[in-house]
Amino acid sequence: MNNLSTMMKEIQGYLSPAIIDSAQRCSDRLLAALPDRQQLENNRVLLAYGGGKDSSYMVAYVRYIQGIIWQQRGATFRLRVSTNRHAAMNDSVMENINRVYQSLAMHDDPLAECLVVDGLQIRPFARHLPMPEAVRQQNRNDVLMNGHRFRADARSTFCNACNLSMVNSFGLAADYDGGVDVIITGDSPQEQAAYVAWARHLSRLFDAPVADKSRGFSGFLQTLDGVAERYFTDINGADQLTPAHRITHQLARDPLFFNIYQDTAYEAGAHWALLSEFMRFRFDELMFSFSESDCGNPTLMAHLRGLRAETLLQRNYAEGIREYVRFALGLMVKKDFPPQLIDEMAARYQDDAAIQRQRQRAATFAVEAFDLSEDQLICMIYSPFLAHGQQLNHWLTRQQIALDEAAIRDLLDQRSEDNALAQQLTQLSGMTLTQMRHCWQSNPVSSLLDGKSADPLSRVLRFDPHKAVIQVNHGELNDTVTEVISGR
Q: What is the 3-state secondary structure (H, E, C) of 433-475?
A: HHHHHHHHCCCCCCCHHHCCCCCHHHHHHHCCCCEEEEEEEEC
Confidence of residue 483 (pLDDT cuts 50, 70, 90): low
SS3 label, residue 230: helix
For the stretch 93-142, pLDDT in tens is: 999 999 999 999 999 999 999 999 999 999 999 999 999 999 999 999 99
- pLDDT of amino acid 190: 75
pLDDT value of position 486:
74
As a whole number, the mean pLDDT across the chain is 91
Least confident window among 370-379, 423-432, 435-444, 461-470: 461-470
DSSP codes, 82-116: EEE--TT--HHHHHHHHHHHHHTT-TT-TTEEEEE
Residue 214 has a pLDDT of 72
User: How sure is the predictor about 203, in pLDDT bands with cuts at 50, 70 and 90?
Assistant: confident
266 has pLDDT over 60 = no
Q: Which residues pair with 84 in a beta bridge?
A: 117
For the chain, the maximum distance between any two Cα atoms, rounded to a whole number of angstroms, is: 77
pLDDT above 60: residue 217: yes
Residue 212 has pLDDT above 90, yes or no: no
| Sign for the pseudo-dihedral over CA of 457, 459, 465, 469 | positive
What residue ranges do the domains of the chain occupy?
A: 4-132+166-278
- C-alpha atoms less than 13 angstroms from C-alpha of 454 in its C-beta half-sphere: 1
Strand boundaries in 85-191, DSSP class E: 112-118, 121-124, 182-185
Name the CA radius of gyration of the chain, rounded.
Answer: 24
∠ Cα 142 144 147 (to 5°) = 100
Cα angle 119-120-125, degrees, rounded to a multiple of 5: 75
Report pTM: 0.93
Q: Residue 83 — φ and ψ, nearest 5°?
A: -115, 125
Q: What is the pLDDT of residues 417-454, one digit of tens each?
A: 999 999 999 999 999 999 999 999 999 887 655 666 67
Q: What is the pLDDT of residues 312-335, one digit of tens each?
A: 999 999 999 999 999 899 999 988
Per-residue pLDDT, averaged over 482-488, amounts to 70
